[in-house]
Amino acid sequence: MLYARVIMAMERGDRQRAVAAVAEELALAPPDAEAVVDRLWRRRQQEIPAKETMAEPWYSHPLALVGILVVGLVFVVALTLLLSRP
């Protein structure tokens, strides 16, 4: 529970609240509580995968634009054929 409180406070940018929560829960002096918060925050940052390791979105692929254009062209041709029928 303490870990979640610290991480939520740090994600909101409220470091003082995170330090206060650790100091209260573990009965630590503020410098020691700051060290604990820093350690927990570093651990959290290591758990989050780096952007470089994440998969690229489908639309960044070089052939994505070609695929979109082909689908659009097929749609236009089909619509034209449907509307040109008597």
- In this prediction, residue 15 carries a pLDDT of 92
State how far the Cα of 36 lies from the Cα of 28, in Å rounded to an integer: 10
- Please report which confidence band the pLDDT of residue 74 belongs to, taking 50, 70 and 90 as the band edges: very high
State how far the Cα of 37 lies from the Cα of 42, in Å rounded to an integer: 9
Instruction: State pLDDT tens for residues 18-56.
Output: 999 999 999 999 999 999 999 999 998 888 776 555 677
Terminal C-alpha separation, the chain: 70
**Which has the higher per-residue pLDDT, 37 or 57?**
37
Which amino acid would we find at residue 25? Answer: E
Name which of 39, 37, 51 is nearest 8 in CA terms. Answer: 37
- In this prediction, residue 58 carries a pLDDT of 76
